[in-house]
Structure formats: C-alpha cells, structure tokens
Chain A
Amino acid sequence: MDDSEYTRAKRRRARNLKLWLAFLLAPPAAILIIFVFLPMASAVVYSLYDWNGLVRKEFIGLDNFADILFNPNKNVILFNAFGNNVKVFVTLMIVQNGIALVLALLLARNPRGFRFYQVVFFLPVILSTVIIGFQWKMFLNPIFGLVNKALHYAGLSEWALPWLGLPETALPSMLLVNSWHWFGFPTLVFLAAIHRIPKDFIEAARLDGASEWRIAREIIWPLIAPAVTIIVVLTFIGSFNWFEIPYIMNGLEGSPQGSTDMLGLLFYRTAFGSVSAGGSDFGSGSALAVLMFIFIFIFSIIATKYLTSREVEMS
C-alpha cells in the first residue's frame, strides 16, 4: 500500500515534468513547422512543376533542376553567382574573421580602454544592414563619397575609383563593408572563448617560454575550437545566403556585369522577376532555393562534424 503510493507519486512527478516540457516546447516547434518546414516542403513541391509566372501547370519532375544546372544559357549565371558566393565565404573568413581573431587576442590582454573598444567594435553589428548598405553606398560614391574625397585630400587621387562601378572592385568593396558591419560579432565570440580559457594555461605557456604567437597558435587556437566552429558555420551560411548588402548597394542584377551576383539575388530575380531581367519563374526559383538549401545544409553538417572533432574539453 505504502509502496504503491510511493510509485504513484513518482510516476506523477515524471508525468508532470513531461507535460511541462511538452507545453513549453510545442509552441516553438509549431511555429517552426508552420513557418520553416512547410514553406521548405512547398518549395520542393513547387520546384517539381512547370510554372507560367505564378500559375502552376503540369508536373515535370526534376526538369527545373536539370534546366538551371545543365542548360548552358542558365548555368553560366548560376555558376558565376555560386563562384561569387565562394569568394564571399573565403574573403569573409580571412578578412572579417581574421581581423576579429586578432582583435580578440589583443582585447583578451585587457588593454587600457578595453570596455571602450569592446563597445565600439560591436556598435556596427547592432546597426541595420539596410542602413549600413545605404551609408556605405554613399561613402563609396565616386563623386560625392567620403572615401574618394578622403583619397583626394590625401593626395591619392589616382586611387579614387568608382568602387562599386568596376567589376574588379565592386565585390571587394562590399565585402569590406560587410566585414566592417560584422567583425564585432566574431570578435566578441572569440573573446568570450578566449576568456573561457583558464589563465593558468596561458601563464604556463609563458613560463614554458612560448612566444605570444606560439601561445595564440598552439594554446589559444585549439582551445577556442568551439567558437571557431560556430563562426565558420555561421559565416558559411551567411555567405551563401548573402543578399542584403549586394542588393542594397548594387541592385538585383549583380551589377556591374554579374560581378556582385549572388545565389540569393539570382533566386530573387528568377522567382519573382525584375524590371530588367524579366518575369517571374516560380519553378526554377523554387528549384534554385531547394538546391541552395541542400548545399548549405550538407556542407554545414560536414563542416560542423569536422570542426567539432577538433574540439577538446577544458577541465
């Protein structure tokens, strides 16, 4: 009798806990299903049909995929955009995250004005991408822009280029803007990771005679691996979904001459059409979206798996 009361109480407690968990987890799960998984699933369905603008016509299987991947008239544009996304990823990894790592290493040494730098570095991150895009578009204006004016004043007039107008400089300019916008975020993540490393490790290495560079490379770098994983994967996803900055700064067409074209812009143009590029094609657009999703998903998982394998627990 006593025993059954005991087991019943125990079971009741376990059930209450489960109910609570379900109660708390169900709403976000529902939102996720409705606003993420359903649209994704519908994109997959859309991609299997022929579309006339926004009207669905017959089922055509994987023809849309074959068309955007293998039709030589279309895949040059796709591969050009994809190549640009790769450039974005590589550059952001080196420039944006590289600068962030260096700054984090410097900040971790607790310099005078630490708080000030921390706030200043993070400030651009909280600004809206739209504002930053417009602001830098103005700064980079060949005639009225701050950048070229500064170059003129510095006596470097021949360096004053129409930054966003030349295919050679447009993408690098945007990448610098993006780096300027975001570097505070990886800096903060790296800094937090470095702060998590027990001070003793660094001091022990210093006593062992390791140079600051060696400490950074051999002690700090392996021990901030979890932060590196997060940043690499986020940068990867961000790079292949890059849209706002190129859209705001040089428009939907990836001007000039496709040098700033991105998969995201191409998707938008294909699915919804644009004034210059023509009408909307939901089928190809959906197929492109599905391909982008698959690519980003698979590579993110591979990258996460690989990067996580280098992580060590600090204890």
Chain B
Amino acid sequence: MANIELRGVSKQFGDVKVIKNVSLTVEDNEFVVFVGPSGCGKSTLLRLIAGLEDLTKGEIHIDNARIDHLAPAARGLAMVFQSYALYPHFTVAQNMGYALRVAKEDKASIDKKVRAAADILQLTDYLDRKPKALSGGQRQRVAIGRAIVRNPKVFLFDEPLSNLDAKLRVAMRIELTKLHRTLNATMVYVTHDQVEAMTMADKIVVLRDGMVEQIGAPLDLYNAPDNRFVAGFIGSPAMNFFAGKVEGFVEGGIEISLTEGAPLTFPCTGSGLSIGDAVDFGVRPEHFCIGQGADGTLKGEVYAVERLGGETYLYLSSSSQKELVVHMSGDHQVAVGDHVEIGFSIAQSHLFGPDGQSVR
C-alpha cells in the first residue's frame, strides 16, 4: 500500500530539540514499532508523520511524494490514539463513520464500510451504543475500527494498548498482528513497552533523546545490539553489565579483565580500543547457567528468588556487582542466602566500548 520515508527530520519546541535529524524508511506493508523510554520523542515523531505537528527541518515522503506540507487529513493516514479519542456524543457507528461523513460519502456506502469494519472487530452488536457503555477493550476496537473504515495508506498507533489491563493487552497484541496481516497495511506503532515491540514488529526503531539508536528486526536487535543502550533496553529482564578494562590484544580478539573472575578473550575485529580503556561486558539473564560456564564463572549470594514453575529468576549480589539477574527455564531449588556459581559463554555475551558502541 504505501512506504514512508523520513529524511533528516527535526522538531524543536521553543529551544528544546525533541527530534534530532531522524532518517528512516518504513516499507510497504511493514509493521514498524517506534520504541524508547518516555521522552525519547517517539510520539512526536508519529505526530510529525500524522501532521499534528509541523516539522522544523527535514522531509517526509509517502509513496515517494512529499507530504509534510499537507494537512493531516490529506496525508491518507489514520491514527489510533492512546486515549482512543472516541467522540462521547456519537454512537459507535457514528464514531467509525465520521471521517466518511466529513468526506460526504453517501449513507449507504458509509453504512456498508462501518459494518464491514465492525464485523472484523466483532463490534456489530455495539454499533448503536455510546462509547461510555463500552469496555476498555471494546473502545480500543472502535478506535481501530474508525481507522480501518477510512481505508488509509498508513495506520498510526500511539501507545494504543497502554490503557488496557495486562491480559487484554496480550490479547489485543495478537489481534493487532492478525489485523495487520488481514489488512495488509503499513503500520507505524509507538510504544514504550519493548515486549510489544518485540512481539509485533517487523522492524523496530529504538529512539533515545530524539535520535535513532538502532533500526532492525526484533531478533537482530536482541542478538546484535549496536550499543549498550539498545542492549539494555531490548530484552526483559534487562542485560547484566559488568565493568571491565582492556588488558591487551591478541590475534582476532582483545583481552579484558573484569573486577571479578579470570580475564577473558573477547573475539572481535578492529575494535579501535586501546589498552586501559574501560569497557562494559554484558550478559543477558537468560544466558547464564548455574555452575561452571564455558568461558567464565561468577560467584554470588542469592538475595531474592522468583520461582514461577516454568521459569526461575535469581537475584544475586556478588563482591563486584550489587545486582545480578539470572533467568532460567524450569524450576530450580535455590533459596535466599545460597551461594551459587553462574557461568556464561563468550558467544552469548556482548562488549561495549567507552563510547557505548558494540565491540564486534
């Protein structure tokens, strides 16, 4: 249906630069998620695409046509708001058909389109109700229905699930993914929840302080984060980081020492590091194992355990690390106060230079 291209987009509110020179492409039919901590500019970026904010600099193209000068309605987009923004004085059907009424479509055609959308979203029984009489999930669906009815080139979602409870959120996540397949549409989705991003996205854009930190498929970001921020942001619980120091260089790698445990050799090509540089060594909680590791072993005392049956979380503190999280599948008989050894392998670990960039 449509691709979107952002070229050097910047946005400034007064003296505050909210978006700093962002360039990215959303391919046709792609489900792209903007993710980042609050205040990173992800919603602003979405609103710039929607036309609810004006660009300070840069260009936005949809289907290779520049659209950043157009009024919101002229851009062929539909947006689902976090608050759903359902008009309280309209019924569900009136809410869904409003854009078509504004566009002066005839009644029969509006009715058909509204019913079709209601059908997809299982809202047919609620068409005559006012939003007040709907549950949170139903309102959410009406908001999506309002977007679908317009048959837009691009769907924009601004944190649409954050007002739902956990269970409903999971259900809607799946429903939205399904919808994306059914509608075969380009979707841009903003969330602060990396789980939503990981589960729904074809492509994730990680933002921080108005800048793109990394763009890629969910598992690419998980497996090969470009920098320490992305590494820490993607994955739950977050990656454990250990402070280290560059000790020397060997063929095909560098030698680093951690505050604790034996020195390691981390394989890489052309790191740009020099001896004595401070580095961060990262291991995801799920990549630790109990006992001796293939490439290294750490010791710690358990101060909290979460045993969920299917998986177990250990919270340790060691001499060098105040907090260390280990995630294992299955049930493990570990108790608070136990001293345990945990091991890791170099292959499933990450190294970040003093500038925060990945060393590969």
A contacts B directly in the complex (CB < 8 Å)?
Answer: yes
Contact of A314 with B88 at beta-carbon distance under 8 Å, contacts A204-B79, A206-B73 already known? yes
Rounded to whole angstroms, the CA-CA distance of A14 and B85 in the bound complex is 41
Q: How far is the CA of A206 from the CA of B73 in the complex (A)?
A: 6
Q: Which residue of A198, A204, A207, A222 is within 8 Å of B89 (Cβ)?
A: A222
Interface check A306, CB cutoff 8 A: no
Residues 121-147 of chain B, each 1 if its beta carbon lies under 8 Å from chain A, else 0: 000000000101000000000000010
B58-95 vs A: 1/0 string, CB under 8 Å?
00000000000001111001110111110111000000
Which residues 84-126 of B sit at the A interface, judged by CB distance below 8 A?
A: 84-85, 87-89, 98-99, 102-103
Cross-chain contact B87 with A207 (CB below 8 angstroms): no
Expressed in whole angstroms, the Cα–Cα distance for A208 and B73 within the complex equals: 6
Bound CA–CA A223/B52 (angstroms): 21
Q: Is A7's CB within 8 Å of the partner chain B?
A: no
**A212 vs chain B, min Cβ distance (A):** 11
Report A195-227 CB contacts with B as 1/0, cut-off 8 Å: 000101101111111110010000100110000
Q: How many pairs of residues, A versus B, come closer than 8 Å at their CB atoms?
A: 63
B132 touching A210, Cβ below 8 Å: no
- B4 CB to nearest A CB, Å: 16
CB neighbours (8 Å) of B102 from chain A are 208-211, 214
Query: Which one of B50, B73, B84, B130 has the greatest number of beta carbons of chain A within 10 Å?
Result: B73
CA of A222 to CA of B94 in the docked complex: distance in angstroms?
A: 14
Complex interface: chain B residues within 8 A of A200 (CB): 81-85
Interface residues of A in 146-198 (CB under 8 A from B): 198
In contact, B98 and A208 (Cβ under 8 angstroms): yes
Which residue of chain A has its CB nearest to the CB of B95?
Answer: A204
On whether A207 and B72 interact (CB within 8 A), knowing A198-B83, A200-B81, the answer reads yes
Cβ–Cβ contact A198 & B72, under 8 A: no
A312 at the interface (CB under 8 A from B): yes
- Whether the pair A315, B89 counts as a contact (CB closer than 8 A) is no
Known: A207-B73, A207-B77, A209-B99. A198 touches B132 (CB 8 A): no
Q: Contact: A203 with B99, CB < 8 Å?
A: no
Please indicate the chain A residues that have their CB under 8 angstroms from the CB of B74 in the complex.
209
- What does the 1/0 interface line of B167-179 toward A look like (CB < 8 Å)? 0000000000000
A313 at the interface (CB under 8 A from B): yes
**Which residues of A have CB within 8 Å of B130?**
312
Instruction: Give the complex CA separation of A121 and B203 in angstroms.
Output: 52
Contact of B52 with A206 in the complex, beta carbons under 8 Å: yes
Residue of A with least CB distance to B50 = A207
Give min CB distance, B21 to chain A, whole Å: 25
CA distance A205 to B88 in the complex (A): 13
Residue of B52, B73, B83, B85 with most chain A CB atoms under a 10 A cut-off: B85
CB proximity of B283 to chain A, nearest CB, Å:
42
A314 to B79, CA, bound (A): 20
> In the bound complex, how far is the Cα of B85 from the Cα of A204, in angstroms?
7
Cβ contact within 8 Å between B87 and A201: yes
Least Cβ distance of A226 to chain B in Å? 12
Given contacts A214-B102, A315-B132, contact A207 B88 (CB under 8 A): no
Query: Which listed residue (A207, A210, A219) contacts B78, Cβ 8 A?
Result: A207
Given contacts A200-B85, A210-B102, contact A313 B73 (CB under 8 A): no
CB <8 Å contact, A203 and B88 = no
Closest beta carbon of chain B to A198's beta carbon, Å: 6
B103:A209 contact, CB within 8 angstroms: yes
A204 adjacent to B132 (CB under 8 Å) = no
**What is the CA–CA distance of A4 and B50 in the complex, to the nearest angstrom?**
65
Q: Is A312 a contact partner of B79 (Cβ separation < 8 A)? A: no
CB neighbours (8 Å) of B98 from chain A are 205, 208, 210
21 residue pairs A–B, Cβ–Cβ below 8 Å: A200-B85, A203-B52, A203-B72, A204-B81, A204-B87, A205-B98, A206-B73, A207-B50, A207-B73, A207-B77, A207-B78, A208-B73, A208-B150, A209-B73, A209-B99, A219-B87, A222-B89, A223-B88, A312-B88, A312-B89, A314-B88
A interface list, Cβ under 8 A from B: 198, 200-201, 203-211, 214, 219, 222-223, 312-315
Name B's A-contacting residues (CB within 8 A): 50-52, 71-74, 77-79, 81-85, 87-89, 98-99, 102-103, 130, 132, 146, 150
Q: Sorted from nearest, which 10 A-B pairs have the closest CB atoms? A: A209-B73, A200-B85, A208-B99, A204-B85, A312-B89, A222-B89, A200-B81, A312-B88, A209-B102, A207-B72
**Known pairs A198-B83, A204-B81, A208-B99. 9 more at Cβ < 8 A?**
A200-B82, A203-B81, A207-B72, A207-B78, A209-B73, A209-B103, A211-B102, A222-B89, A315-B88
